[in-house]
Amino acid sequence: MEQFIEWITQPWPWYVAGPLIGLTVPILLLVGNKSFGISSSLRHVCAMCVPANIPFFTYNWKKEMWNIVFVVGVLLGGFFATTFISNPDTIVVAESTQQDLAALGITDYSKLLPAEIFNWENLFTGKGLLFFVIGGFLVGFGTRYAGGCTSGHAIMGISSLQWPSVVATIFFMIGGFLMTHVLLEPLMKMVGF
């Protein structure tokens, strides 16, 4: 049992994790002609909870209950993993990345998210407004506008040969590169980071 715990707490290599994620797509398609996606579950929850007669939320959400169960499983799995079987070692970050992050004031690698950004004190500051409120709105708006999230398009859309997903994924990548290499530093300085 100890060997199993030791094995499961270590990061899995890409050649194991990648195929496992990739196999989700054909399994969902074969089992019930279901498409993989997380962002649509927010719509299903709103359709369950919003009593108003809003056309966007008026559909048979009960058909999508499997998606809600899937998301609850992801949340419970994440909680279980971080609470009971998380790796206590410091996260390994490449030296060049550490130098880039140190220039932005990020030096704590003890958790999955940088403590210098993701903490309660930052929530009501300019940084918090930018990262959590504006960033969250842009992610939500972009997900709805693109017809799905990055993982849904990249994993499900591309593997099922959907041309819009290929285009969306290309632009997700371009946006990520642009943000990382052009916009990140000026934005961080603007909010005092």
Q: Considering all CA atoms of the chain, what is the largest pairwise distance in Å, rounded to the nearest integer?
A: 54
Q: Are residues 71 and 151 in the same domain?
A: no
* Side-chain half-sphere CA neighbours of 145 within 13 A: 8
Q: Are residues 75 and 141 in the same domain?
A: no
Tokens linked to 175: 């946006």
Using the predicted structure, report yes or no on whether residue 11 has a pLDDT greater than 80: no
pTM (whole model) above 0.85: no
Q: Pick from 85, 28, 40: which is nearest to 64 by CA?
A: 40
Q: Pick from 176, 192, 183: which is nearest to 104 by CA?
A: 192
DSSP 175: H
Residue 74 lies in a domain: yes
Q: Are residues 76 and 124 in the same domain?
A: no
Q: Are residues 72 and 13 in the same domain?
A: yes
Confidence (pLDDT) at 76: 95
Residue 106 lies in a domain: no
Q: Are residues 79 and 148 in the same domain?
A: no
Q: Are residues 140 and 184 in the same domain?
A: yes
Distant-in-sequence, close-in-space partners of 174: CB < 8 Å, separation ≥ 6: none
Residue 92 lies in a domain: no
Q: Are residues 57 and 125 in the same domain?
A: no
Residue numbers of the domain that contains 14 = 1-86
Which percentage of the chain shows pLDDT scores above 70? 98
Q: Are residues 59 and 137 in the same domain?
A: no
Q: Are residues 12 and 69 in the same domain?
A: yes
Q: Are residues 1 and 82 in the same domain?
A: yes
Residue 48 lies in a domain: yes
CB 103 within 8 A of CB 189: no
Confidence (pLDDT) at 191: 65
Residue 103 lies in a domain: no
Indicate the average pLDDT of the chain.
83
Using the predicted structure, report yes or no on whether residue 16 has a pLDDT greater than 70: yes
For the segment 72-93, the average pLDDT, to the nearest whole number, is: 83
Distant-in-sequence, close-in-space partners of 37: CB < 8 Å, separation ≥ 6: 67, 148, 149, 151, 152, 156
Residue 40 lies in a domain: yes
Per-residue CA distances from 118 to 12, 115, 174 (Å): 25, 5, 25
The number of folded domains in the chain is 2
Tell me which of 47 and 191 has the higher pLDDT. 47
Task: Report the range out of 76-85, 105-114, 178-187 with the highest average pLDDT.
Answer: 76-85
Residue 23 lies in a domain: yes
Residue 36 lies in a domain: yes
* Distance in angstroms (rounded) separating the CA atoms of residues 82 and 85: 6
Q: Is 72 helix (H, G, I), strand (E, B) or coil?
A: helix
Which percentage of the chain shows pLDDT scores above 90? 7
